[in-house]
Structure formats: structure tokens, C-alpha cells
Chain A
Amino acid sequence: MISDLFTVTVLIGILASGIRLSTPYLFAAIGETFGQKSGVLNLGVEGQMLLGAFAAFYVALTTGNLWLGLFTAMIVGALMGLAMAYVTVNLHAEQGISGIGFYLFGLGMSDLLFQKLMGTVETVKGFPEIYIPGLSDIPGIGKIFFSQNILVYIAYLLVPIAWFVLNKTTLGLKIRSVGENPDAADSLGVSVSRIRYFTIILGGTLSGIAGASLSIALLNVFQQNMTSGLGFIAVALVYFGAWRPIGVLGGALLFSLINSLQLWVQVLSIPIPSDIAVMMPYVVTILVLVATVSKVRAPSALTKPFERGD
């Protein structure tokens, strides 16, 4: 029954898992924000996440060390970012197309490695929940905010850090200028290439963590195409959030809460066809983007390769 959704326990459950599910969105979308702020659209996020998810899972499974798994995912993501940076910055590739290429590479490669190295679906014991003393005992709130795994806390810390870096540091000033007017930045001795390499590699690293957060913290399995479009939603979230970390946070929460809601709808066997329920986050993505798209302005140099001289 629909009314089953509105008990306190269920609502707390929806909110708690909503917060938890927002982690991969946050990591990936904050990383993407840095890239787009510097003028690079990375559509390969999904592929970076898939490879990150596999790397983290496989290393955790074979070594039993979750942190080593996470670290491997970061390295894999960073390497994907490095390749993406070379293609977009040095070779001036069309960013939309090369991003799709990197997505397909990550999709195929993660599946190939999975088939070759594992073959069957296995599980690991992921990052445990950390109960923050005192705070986690607060009724309701404690369960929602202060009884999460370590990656959730890191993801939420990342939001103010990203805001601070972008708006209060010289690095942030350079990133923003490179994304708005690379010619101006170049004329003042800011290396457009170096800044873009940095943001794309950072984005890749964070996408790797986003993948790891799925495979060794949230779901604790690896499956073929387990991200199922999450990386693309992360790209959309950057537009939705108008290139601001706080906006991205809002978007990530919106989608993960809807996702959490639809999971609970299925768990409670509420008579809504499950296909419709699963579709909800994606439908909302489209609706929200349509509603917000005209009001925000992208960085002027987004997707434009930089070349010195006229």
C-alpha cells in the first residue's frame, strides 16, 4: 500500500539510503564540475566509473584490502583522465565524441577483465558503517546522517572543499578563467594545457572513486555495466547544478532520493510496475534539465579546444 511509505521507519530508511546512494553521483559530478569549469566536457565519466568499480572490487577481493582497492580505482581513473586529457588538449579532439569513445572503452574493458579474471559474480565485505559517537544516537537524524560508510562522509566533505578551491584559491581562479576565456588566461602566463590536464585527471580520479563507492561500499559486488547510466546523470547534474558544487549536491540528493524511493517502493511491494519505478530517476533527469536549461550559462569555452593564435 502507498500508505506504507509514510511510516517513520520507512521515511528514515528512504532518507538514509538516499544520502548513501548520492555518493557516486557526488564524486563523479564534482570531478566533472572541475573539468567543465576549465572548459572540458568529459562524457567518459561512466567508463571511468566502470573501470574504477572493477579495479576497486578486484583488488579488494584478491587482497582483502579495501583501501588498496580504493587507491587502485583512483589510479585507474587518473590514467583514464590522462588519456582523455591528451586526446582533448593535445589532439584537439571533439570532446563529445572522444568522451563517448572513453565510455565504450571503459564499458568493454571492465567487462572483459571481469570475464577473464573472475567469471562469476562474487561479493566482498565493503566499507563498514561508521557510527559517529554521540551524533549517531540522535533519533532519526543519527541514522540518516551519522551512520554511513567513510566514502559518504568524504563525498560530503568534498562539496565545501570544491567550492573553496574554485572560489577562494589562485588555482580556482585559473580554472575558471581557462574555462571562460582561455586566450585571456594564456596572455597572462596561465598554462591552459596544464590546468586542463589537472582538472581532467582530477575528474578521472574522482570518477574512479565514484565507481569504487558502488562496488566496495554500496553494493559490494561487481557486475557488467553496473553503473547503468549513473555517470551520464552525473554529467547532467553539473548542468543542473549550474556549475556550482552546492547545486551539484542538490541535484545529487534529488536523484538519489528518488532512486531510494523507488527501491523502497519495490521492497514494500507497492503495486506500481517496477519498470515504471526504475524509470523515475531518469524521467526526472530529463524533466529537470528541460526546466533548468535556459536559465544557466555554461562556461564560455566549454568543449572548445584551445589553440594559441588566431
Chain B
Amino acid sequence: MSETDKLPSGRARINSLEMRGITKRFPGVLASDHVDFDVKSGEVHALLGENGAGKSTLMKILYGLYHPDEGEVLINGKPVRISSPTDSINLGIGMIHQHFMLVQTMTVAENVALGLPSSRGALTDLDRVSKRIVELADIYGLRIDPSAYIWQLSVGQQQRVEIIKALYRGAALLILDEPTAVLTPQEVDELFVIMNQMVRDGHGLVFISHKLHEVVEISHRISVLRDGRMIGTRLTSETTKQDLANWMVGREVGFTPDRGQVECGGPRLQLKDVSCGSDRGTPGLRGISIDVCSGEILGIAGVSGNGQRELAETITGLRKTTGGQVFLEGNDITGFSPSDVTDRMLSYIPEERMRDGMIKDFTVAENMILREHEKMPYSRYGFLNLREISQHADQLIKKFHVKTPSRETHAKNLSGGNIQKIVLAREIFRTPRVIIAAQPTRGLDIGATEYVREQLLEQRKQGVAIMLISEDLDEILALSDRIAVIYEGQVMDIVPRAEATPAKLGLLMAGVHPEETPA
């Protein structure tokens, strides 16, 4: 083996990895249908596709978590057998999972050492592991303290731990499963620097994402999966975002929703110096003052865990305030119960739609009247009016294009997009005055995302005041009229749409005022 075949970590390169004719059946679903895919040393190969297109299935097969029914994997032209993660690790394949595979209560070094043989036999050799982590961190430009506990690290740092973990195990080829989903724009830039460095050093990278602009920025080649089938592979330089989107969805996609011009009316929702606690007992909100006007979408941008959940819950009455006041159309609703807030025509699309947005074991029809079930015409004197409920359900299913076998189907059997349509239908149909939409498109595919956004814009046109809480900056920028950035429970700044750029918002999200940093 010549020196050029080696990676900076000292391990051999994987010059080529090929998956041929991979087929995987789950009961009732063909998750992967004779898929061919390959990665070479020194390239980023992006794998694009909607939810359920089979990206994760394909990569879980490569990583040994699933076993294919048909097909083979070849490394440097030779067939290999991968029946467990251990096999794939030994072959030099590493995976950065979308949900980090880290033990929060253990240190960086412990997380890296986990599952590996120790030089001291049955005893751990954390000192040696730490030394090697520092070495690798130097080579690849990943700053990390091996003795830090995972829970002390930011999301971006945790991701670096995941990368180090894979490199420590000698990964020559890395699968990055939606690595940017949880990062701030600055962290994404840093990740891309690291990825480019790794590619120059001879690693091969598989980059899974559904964010087109990122895919176009970082990858050399792009493959698109749809319904378990490989639609095609192209050089990044020879394709456009619009082509890719159409490939993914299988039809023409409206790329930027038509926002239209809407007159902003008077303030419908006002927060004055609102504070509250968080689940951890620390302050959740620290004196937030915001107005949302009629016919306006106010975007709330911020890194996860900076008060978004608390904000939605205080407004909707689910969480007690510790200070300040909330006004709905001029009336003080501070301390109101959730049902009193609801009665004043405030609608809420919760962040955890499966947990807070609906009851999984209830039928579609039942879920559609959850909020109004005590009111006429759905019930009278405590008795449900089943005929009215059924008609109501049929009407909403039709109007909101919910794909469901029937109104009696249990909600848990529907896809994420259709579940969100049910929530949306329930919350919008009652003609609310104010809508709080928390992460309304998280986890949805392009088609469903497009639909949800159109509906929100339609409500805006009707004059509804909408607060859009989202960690997806693209979404914030696409929909909002004004953007409030929150950081550690405080509003950093409120920026009009026209003046907002990802870079500016990114700094605010990290707690930095742009003017404070030297240019």
C-alpha cells in the first residue's frame, strides 16, 4: 500500500464503494427496489429524496442495521458481507445519525471508547483514548475537549463528537444522515469546511438531505430516490434546484410560495414583558415583548431550546407565566386556561403533532373535533352528534385533501403529512383570529410542506395574525413579514423580511448582535 492510499487518520482509503441491485421489502412496502448507488474516495455524493423515499433504508443497509433481501455491496470491486454495524465499522464505514448516537451522561472519551476493545483488557483506557481524540481533532480541525460531558456541548459540538467517533474507528467512508437539520447557518458552514477537508484528504462522503441549496453547495454528484427507486444520478454541476425538486416529487413544484401583498392591520396578539419557567426549572422566557398584527406572519427564529416551546405554551395557556401580560385583540388573557384561550379564537398547531396535536388512537373524525367537541353542532347536553361529526369530517377530508382510507381510520396509521393536514384542518376551519404555528412543516416532505405553507399564506390573506415558530430558516425567510430572533428566552432583534439574510439571522440566533462584531 502506498502512502497516497492512506488517510490522515492512518487508515486505508476506500477507493470505491458500490451497492448493486439493493432490494428491501417490509410488510406491505417495497422500501428499496433494485437500487444502485456508489461513492468514490474524494467526493461528496448527495442522496436526495422525500420522507419515505428510501434514503435511510438504503443507508441502514450499508451500515448493517438492516439486511437486504437482494443485492450486494462491493468495496474496491470486491463483494463484502455486512450483517451488523460491527462489520461495517471494520470495513471502514462510519455513520453520523440524524439523531445523535451519544450517551448524554457520559464524557466525550467514554462515548468514543464505547464498544471498542481496550488496551488494558477489562479496564477502560480513557487516557489513551483522550490522547488519540486530541490527535484526530488536530488533524481534522475539530476542536473538542475529551473530558467534557455530552450534555455540556452544543449541538454542533456533539456532531463533531460523532465525526470523531467514526474517524477513531477508522472510517474511510462516512454517511451523514441529514447532518444540517439541527444546525445554525454558521454551524452548517463549519460542517461544510470540515467535510471539504475530509474529501480533500481522500474520504468518501454520503450526504443525505432534502435541503436543495445545501446539496447543490457541497456535493459533487447527486442521486435522487423516490418511492424506493433510484430516479437517477447527475453531476452537481449539470443540474439545477428546480430539476432536482421535480425529480424528488415527481411533478412540477412551486418553489417559492406566492406571498402576495397584504395590508397589515392592528395588533391582534401582544406580549408585554412575558416571562416563564422551563421544564428544567431555569427561566424559559425572560421578558419577551412582541406584537403580531392582523394579516401578518411573524417568524420566530432561533436555535432549538431557546424558548420556542415556552413561548407557544405561554400564549396558549399551557404554561404559567411568571411575569408580564398577554393580550388577544386588546383583552388581557394572561393566566387564562387553554380552553378559555381557545374560545377567544386562537388556534394552535403544536410542535409535537403526534403528542400534542392529536390522539393517535382516535379516528380521523374524532381528531377533527378535538378542540370543538363540546360545542354545537358537534355535541349537545354532553351527547355527541355523530352524524354531524361524520359530515364535518368528510367535508374537511375533502377540503384539505387528507389522504385517508376513511374518516374512521385511526390517526396513527396516516403519514406525517396527512396527520398535519388534520391538525391544520381542525385549527383553520374554525376561522381563528390568531394562529400559533410551531414547526408546522418539520419532518414533512416537499409536497406536504408546500401545502402547509400555502394554507398559512391563505390565512394571512384572510387577515389572521400568525406567529410562525420554526427552526428552519428557509421557512422563516419564505413566509414571514417580520422575523423575531430569540436567544435564551429573549428577543435579540425583530428584523423586517426585506432586511433579513441568513447570515444576519444566524448571528442573532447565536446570541451575537451583528453590529457588535468587527466587520
Interface residues of A (CB under 8 A from B): 168-174, 176-177, 180-181, 183-190, 300, 308-309
Please give, as numbers and ranges, the residues of chain B lying within 8 Å of A176 by CB-CB distance: 103, 105-106
Contact A170 B123 (CB under 8 A): yes
Q: With A174-B114, A308-B65, A309-B66 known to touch, is A187 a contact of B103 (CB < 8 Å)?
A: no
Contact B103 A180 (CB under 8 A): yes
4 nearest A-B residue pairs (beta carbon):
A188-B115, A189-B86, A184-B101, A187-B101
Cα-based distance from A300 to B105 in the complex (angstroms): 9
Q: Is B29 an interface residue (CB 8 A)?
A: no
Contact B101 A183 (CB under 8 A): yes
Contact A180 B66 (CB under 8 A): no
Please give, as numbers and ranges, the residues of chain B lying within 8 Å of A168 by CB-CB distance: 123-124
> What 0/1 pattern do residues 109 to 148 of B give for CB contact below 8 A with A?
0110111111000111000000000000000000000000
Contact A180 B97 (CB under 8 A): no
Please give, as numbers and ranges, the residues of chain A lying within 8 Å of B65 by CB-CB distance: 187, 308-309
Cα-based distance from A172 to B100 in the complex (angstroms): 21
Minimum CB–CB distance for B176 against chain A, Å: 14
Q: Is B85 an interface residue (CB 8 A)?
A: yes
Q: How many residues from B make CB contacts under 8 Å with A?
A: 30
Across the interface, name the chain B residue whose C-beta is closest to A186. Answer: B85
Contact of A170 among B84, B85, B89, B122 (CB under 8 A): B122
Interface residues of B (CB under 8 A from A): 60, 63, 65-66, 84-86, 89, 95, 97, 99-106, 110-111, 113-118, 122-124, 165
Contact B114 A188 (CB under 8 A): yes
Contact B97 A169 (CB under 8 A): no
Q: A176-B106, A177-B106, A181-B101 are in contact. List 6 more A-B contacts (CB 8 A).
A: A176-B103, A180-B106, A181-B104, A188-B116, A189-B89, A300-B105
Contact A170 B66 (CB under 8 A): no
Q: At the interface, is chain B mostly helix, strand, loop or mixed? A: loop
Contact B114 A171 (CB under 8 A): no
Please give, as numbers and ranges, the residues of chain B lying within 8 Å of A300 by CB-CB distance: 104-105
Please give, as numbers and ranges, the residues of chain B lying within 8 Å of A309 by CB-CB distance: 60, 65-66
Minimum CB–CB distance for A213 against chain B, Å: 28
Please give, as numbers and ranges, the residues of chain B lying within 8 Å of A185 by CB-CB distance: 103, 114-115
Cα-based distance from A184 to B113 in the complex (angstroms): 12
Please give, as numbers and ranges, the residues of chain A lying within 8 Å of B101 by CB-CB distance: 181, 183-184, 187-188
Cα-based distance from A170 to B118 in the complex (angstroms): 7
Minimum CB–CB distance for B61 against chain A, Å: 12
A-B contact pairs, 8 of them (CB 8 A): A168-B123, A169-B122, A173-B114, A177-B106, A185-B114, A185-B115, A189-B115, A300-B105
Across the interface, name the chain A residue whose C-beta is closest to B121. Answer: A170
Contact B103 A188 (CB under 8 A): no
